Each structure stands twice: as C-alpha cells, then as structure tokens.
Amino acid sequence: MLVLVHAAVTTQQRFFIGKSFGIIWLGFSLVAVVVMVLTWLVTCLYHATVIPLDAVAFQTVTTIGAYPIVCWLLLHCQLALLRNV
C-alpha cells in the first residue's frame, strides 16, 4: 500500500510545491481517506467478513487531525537543525 501511495504522491509533487498548507492538508486528507478505505477492504477480504467502519473512521479522523501538529513539530525541528549547520 505504501508503494502505491509513494507512486501517486511522487507524480503530484510538482502540483504541491509552493501551495498553501491548506491545499497540502487537503491532499493529505484525500490520500489518507483512500488508503484507509483500501486497507479496510483488503482486511475485510482477508478475514472474509465485514469489519465495522467505526475504528477505521476514528483512525482516519485522528490521522487527519494530527497532521498539522506533526507538521508544525517537524518544521521546528528542521529549522533548529538548519540553524546549527
């Protein structure tokens, strides 16, 4: 699954360069939803049963909601590291 996401994101890299954080977050959100649904489908097929969507929905919302916080933390870590170079 991660290889497919990497391939899809790499082809769209030019579009996202220089865009606002909101556009990047929207792109991340769309990819996250698609990946979560595909993961849910593969899991349902593997176990030959329908797994409730509530856990998948919670994981998706949590992932999308945590994205800005993680981005902010990583940005400040990168800036701190670049100051020391």
Instruction: Give the tens place of pLDDT for each residue, 23-39.
Output: 999 999 999 999 999 99
Does this model's pTM top 0.75? My answer is yes
Rounded to a whole number of angstroms, the CA Rg of the chain reads 16
Question: Which residues are CB-neighbours of 42 under 8 A, at least 6 positions away?
Answer: 1
- pLDDT, tens only, 4-23: 888 888 898 888 899 999 99
Angle at 76 between CA 30 and CA 1, to 5 degrees: 30
pLDDT confidence of residue 9: 86
Residue 85: the pLDDT is: 78
**Statement: residue 84 has pLDDT above 90:** no
Identify the pLDDT of residue 2. Answer: 82
Number of domains present in the structure of the chain: 1
Q: Residue 48's domain spans which residues?
A: 2-83
Instruction: Give every CB contact of residue 1 below 8 A, 6+ residues apart in sequence.
Output: 35, 38, 39, 42
The structure tokens listed for 33 are 């939803």
